[in-house]
Amino acid sequence: MSRYYPILVDLEGKRVLVVGGGRVAQRKIETLLEHGAVVDVVATELNRPIASLAERGLIHYAGQDFSESNLDGIFLVVAATSDVSFNRHVSEKARQKGLLVNAVDQPSECNFIVPSILRRGDLVVAVSTSGKSPAFARKIREDLEAYFGEEYESFLTLMGRLRELVLCRGFSQEQNKVLFEKLIASSLLGSIRENDWERTASIITDVLGRPFSEEEIMTYARKGK
C-alpha cells in the first residue's frame, strides 16, 4: 500500500518557496504561478527565464543564501537544486516547521510528491507511481491525453452550470442525484465532442424537463473561455 494520500491543494494566494534557479526550478515556478501561488525564490544564480520573472515582479527573488528565515510565512517548499545534500538540508528545515516540502527526485526527503498531470479545464487527472518511476507516470499521462480530449473541458463547464440550475430548483438530494446521473449516462459528452449543440440542447431538455436553446447551452459550455 502506498504511503501517499492523494490530495489536491488550493495554492491561490499561498506563499511558496522554491530553492534553486535552474531549469527544474523554472518548471516548478511556472506551474506554481499557473495555480495562483505567490512565489519566493532563493538561488545562488538564476537562469534567464527565472530572472525575467523576477524583473517583471511575477516572483520575489529572496537572495542567494538559504536560511530558516526564508521559511517564515511559507505554506509550501520546493527544493530544486542540483545538490542532493543541500536539498536534504532545506527539506529537514522545512519539515521541522511542519511545512509541506518536495525535494525534486528525492522521495525520501519529501512529505508530498507531485504527480504527472493531465488537465482539461476543471478536469484534473493525476498519475503517480509513488516516486518509483516518474518517467512511467509521464508515459501513462501521455497515453491518457488521446482519450481525454478538449471536449471534457466544455463538458465540465456545462455540467457546473447545469448543477447550479438544478440545485436552485429545490429538489431532494436523491432527485438531484438521479438527474445528474442521467446527464452523465446520456450521450451528452459525445454530442459535445461532435460540436452538435442542437442535440446537446435536446438531451438536456429531455433530462431536466424544461426547454434549453442551442445558443443557451453553447454559452454555458463556453463560459470562462
Res. 203: pLDDT tops 60 = yes
Residue with cell 516547521: 97
**What's the pLDDT at 222?**
85
What does the CA dihedral 193, 194, 198, 202 come to, rounded to 10 degrees?
A: -50
Mean pLDDT to the nearest integer, 46-62 = 98
Secondary structure letter of residue 124 according to DSSP? E
User: With 0-12 CB in 10 A as exposed, 13-18 as middle and 19+ as buried, what is 117?
Assistant: middle
Is the pLDDT score of 156 beyond 50? yes
**CA separation for the pair 178, 182 (Å, rounded):** 6
Mean pLDDT of 106-122: 92
Number of CB atoms found within 10 A of residue 19's CB: 27
1 pLDDT tier (thresholds 50, 70, 90) = low
Confirm whether pTM is higher than 0.85.
no
Quick one: pLDDT band at residue 225, thresholds 50, 70, 90? very low
Q: What tens digit of pLDDT does each residue of 88-112 get?
A: 999 999 999 999 999 999 989 999 9
